[in-house]
Amino acid sequence: MAGGERPLVRVRGLRKSFGGNVVLDGVDLDVREGEVTVLLGPSGSGKSTLLRCVNHLETPDAGFVEIGGDIVGYHQNGARLHALRSRAVTRQRAQVGMVFQQFNLFPHMTLLENITEAPVAVRRLPRKQAAARARELLERVGLGSREDSYPRQLSGGQQQRVAIARALAMEPRLLLFDEPTSALDPELVGEVLAVIQDLALGGMTMIVVTHEIGFARKVADTVVFLDGGRIIESGPPADVLTDPRHERARSFLAAVL
Amino acid sequence: MTQYDTPGRSVTAPGTAPPESGPEPPDPGPEQAAADQAPPLGLHTEPSDKDLLAARLVPARHPGQWLSAGVVLVLFAMLVHTVVANHRFQWPVVGDYFLRGSIMHGLELTLWLTAAVMATGYLLGIGIAAMRLSGNPVLRGLSFGYVWLIRSVPPLVQLLFWYELASLYPRLSVGIPFGPEFADFRTAHLFSGILAAYVGLSLDVAAFAGEIVRGGILAVDPGQREAARALGLGEGRIFRRIVLPQAMPAIVPASGNLLIGMLKATSIVSVIAVQDLLYSTQLIYNQNFLIMPLLMVATLWYIVLTTLLSIGQFYVERYYARGRDRQGRPPARGLWQVARANIPLFGRVAGPGPVGL
Ligand SMILES: Nc1ncnc2c1ncn2[C@@H]1O[C@H](COP(=O)(O)OP(=O)(O)O)[C@@H](O)[C@H]1O
Ligand SMILES: [Mg+2]
């Protein structure tokens, strides 16, 4: 990891509250190109909100997220940040893929339609080309023969793999995972983590929220520990996971391990 | 038949001698099937697992259902008889007028007025639902107020209002308030009976359609919209391709109701002398006083149209059910199977064993 290079993702001073409830309380985070960052923390610590701010599904109250040199959701003009129109936000979002805990596949579309919808609508790929690419991706996540199935005909693990293929079809620069295996039966967790690990080996930049400590140890370049809307620990997994300095991190790890 | 109506033999009935229960030949005739349904077990013999596995499953009987069905059937036959046999209905007259030219014209008007009113009403209704669900408080308030007002006023009153609008504003002009006028109209010509009917009923449908569409949209999992946004889809495309198709299963049945209701509700235009199906029959019976047979003509036509619409609704519902079950396909059952399953007399014939009758 070249130290001098500008990180792909830079989060600075991010704050967000809902009503009086402060959910993110000044978060700074860097993610370098090709790195995997695993986000740990107790429920309600603001992990999902942080991911949603990165994708501008949530608008921060203060601070900013920068991806590839562009401020997410804003256009910089001298000393001012102008909020972007929804079309421009849409274009930014297309560079960032997101995978959800509940998969959120479109139930009324076949797997192929699920995957080709955005490339055809947003990237203006010809339908044929999008379909060919979708078949490749289904093959890659181990569902090559199921393109005409509907999501409800699949197991949770299979659905999540399709959701990953759907995100990859947009050729994103960054992939966000929000507890991708938390809704799965234990025996299905492995197949989804294997796909994510494969992406990591392929050099995909990712931020992964998960409680799978074994996965974090194996795949993460950086582990970030969030508590009460602040980052309390951050570093290589060998340090953060084996010998956390912070008491809260220690008790959390003891609880999930 | 009788064997089926007797209650199953009680296992512990005193005095029942334990019959031989050797291994049974697994192929009893239809007569014997009934006799074998409760494997004869004696007082002192514990049923072995083998006996239980070989035992025949007997579905629960519902003698009460059959009895009440019989009563209903008899009452229905009596009703049909009084209608058919009562010569004052004058069925030959009904037959004479059923396909008359003026009735056909009225039918045509009813059909296209219904179609135009529903199409316009739904276009407006989708807009009203979108306003109501938007983040803009002005739009939300407007659409709420609209729905409140329209739902509060009887459709007949709305119709008369538009028809009599000329008395309120004898002249309508297009221009800048307090400034120059670009054009002006005499309203008496603007709102003929048919236009008043179209405008009044469309605005009425819009309010109800708006509520139906809004309910359907609210029933869609917010995660769907979120996932579509994360993929970079635009808001318009998300609505058309992701939200609306998933709202349809909730929208279609209520809309079918509204459509059928509106088909019949168009008959109120007869009060402002629009010649729809009902008014065409009224024009005839005002001349010849054959009131009942002509009302029957209108009634039969409404029944025919409603039936066709119900069948159409069945197929639309089936289309939007795709992907909803684990088979992923719409249920393979056709209209006839569904009708059979819902008409009590045909009964639920599923389950093992023959069924009486
Ligand atoms: N849209 C929202 N409106 C109100 N409160 C919210 C919203 N989203 C999240 N929160 C609150 O923010 C806190 C953090 O949520 P979240 O980011 O989902 O935490 P995590 O993913 O770490 O469990 C929770 O207390 C949650 O109730
Ligand atoms: Mg969360």
ipTM value for the complex: 0.93
pLDDT: is A175 or B44 the higher one?
Answer: A175
- pLDDT band per the 50, 70, 90 thresholds, residue A189: very high
pLDDT: is B40 or A25 the higher one?
Answer: A25
Amino acid at B263: L
A137 φ, ψ to 5°? Answer: -65, -40
Percent of chain A having pLDDT more than 70? 98
Task: Please tell me the predicted confidence (pLDDT) of residue B193.
Answer: 84
Say whether B327 and A153 touch across the interface (CB within 8 A): yes
Q: A163: nearest CA in chain B? A: B227
* CA separation for the pair B59, B71 (Å, rounded): 24
Residue of the CA atom closest to atom 7 of ligand 1: A18
Q: Is A43 in the pocket of ligand 1 (CB under 6 A)?
A: yes
Beta-strand relationship, A36-40 and A222-227: parallel
SS3 assignment, position A207: strand
A124 φ, ψ to 5°? Answer: 60, 35
DSSP state of B56: P
Given a cut of 90, whether residue B309 has pLDDT beyond it is: yes
pLDDT in tens, B160-219: 888 887 677 766 677 777 777 776 666 555 567 888 899 999 999 999 999 999 999 999
Asked if the structure places residue B255 within a domain, the reply is yes
Burial of B332 (0-12, 13-18, 19+ CB in 10 A): exposed
Task: Please tell me the predicted confidence (pLDDT) of residue B327.
Answer: 54
Q: Minimum-distance ligand to the CA of A18?
A: 1
- pLDDT band per the 50, 70, 90 thresholds, residue B16: very low
Task: Please tell me the predicted confidence (pLDDT) of residue B216.
Answer: 94
Given a cut of 50, whether residue B350 has pLDDT beyond it is: no
- pLDDT band per the 50, 70, 90 thresholds, residue B331: low
* Entry field: residues in chain A: 257
Say whether B322 and A87 touch across the interface (CB within 8 A): no
From A17, A23, A47, A61, the mutation candidate for ligand 1 (largest count of ligand atoms within 8 A of CB) is A23
Q: How many domains does chain B have?
A: 1
Asked if the structure places residue B100 within a domain, the reply is yes
Asked if the structure places residue B354 within a domain, the reply is no
Q: What's the CATH code of the domain at B248?
A: 1.10.3720.10
A114 touches A162 (CB < 8 A): yes
Residue of the CA atom closest to atom 12 of ligand 1: A23
SS3 assignment, position A78: coil
Domain that holds residue B120: 95-321
* CA separation for the pair B352, B346 (Å, rounded): 16
Asked if the structure places residue B12 within a domain, the reply is no
Q: Which residue has the tokens 């400034």?
A: B179
Selected for mutation to probe chain B from A84, A85, A150, A170 (highest B CB count within 10 Å) is A150
Nearest partner of B304 among B279, B280, B277, judged by Cα: B277
Asked if the structure places residue B187 within a domain, the reply is yes
- List the single residue in B226, B231, B325 with the smallest CB-CB distance to A118: B231
A197 touches A215 (CB < 8 A): yes
What number does the ligand 1 atom closest to the CA of A178 have?
21
CB atoms within 10 A of CB A41: 24
Task: Please tell me the predicted confidence (pLDDT) of residue B28.
Answer: 46
Average pLDDT over chain A reads: 92
> In angstroms, what separates the C-alpha of A158 from chain B's closest C-alpha?
14
* CA separation for the pair B196, B269 (Å, rounded): 9
Residue of the CA atom closest to atom 1 of ligand 1: A18
pLDDT in tens, B92-137: 888 888 999 999 999 999 999 999 999 999 999 999 999 999 888 9
Given a cut of 90, whether residue A137 has pLDDT beyond it is: yes
A109 touches A117 (CB < 8 A): yes
pTM for the whole structure: 0.77
Asked if the structure places residue B243 within a domain, the reply is yes
Helix (H) or strand (E) holding B295: helix B291-320
Percent of chain B having pLDDT more than 70? 74
Mean pLDDT of B2-17: 43
A52 touches A23 (CB < 8 A): no
pLDDT: is B320 or B206 the higher one?
Answer: B206
Ranges of each domain in chain A: 105-171
Q: Minimum-distance ligand to the CA of A42?
A: 1
SS3 assignment, position B199: helix
Selected for mutation to probe chain A from B226, B231, B251, B329 (highest A CB count within 10 Å) is B231
Nearest partner of A6 among A60, A52, A66, judged by Cα: A66
Given a cut of 50, whether residue A253 has pLDDT beyond it is: yes
Nearest partner of B192 among B156, B162, B154, B158, judged by Cα: B162
Asked if the structure places residue B265 within a domain, the reply is yes
Q: Which residues contact B139 (CB under 8 A, 6 or more apart)?
A: B131, B132
Asked if the structure places residue B125 within a domain, the reply is yes
Residue of the CA atom closest to atom 26 of ligand 1: A44
* ∠ CA A151-B220-B243, rounded to 5°: 80
A240 touches A249 (CB < 8 A): yes
SS3 assignment, position B356: coil
Q: Is A59 in the pocket of ligand 1 (CB under 6 A)?
A: no
Mean pLDDT of B345-356: 44
Is the minimum CB–CB distance between A25 and chain B shorter than 8 Å? Answer: no
Mean pLDDT of A146-156: 93
Q: Which of residues 279-338 of B touch A (CB under 8 A)?
A: 320, 322-328
Is the minimum CB–CB distance between B237 and chain A shorter than 8 Å? Answer: yes
Q: Which of residues 105-164 of A touch B (CB under 8 A)?
A: 105-110, 117-118, 121-122, 149-153, 163
Average pLDDT over chain B reads: 80
Mean pLDDT of A216-242: 94
Percent of chain A having pLDDT more than 90? 79
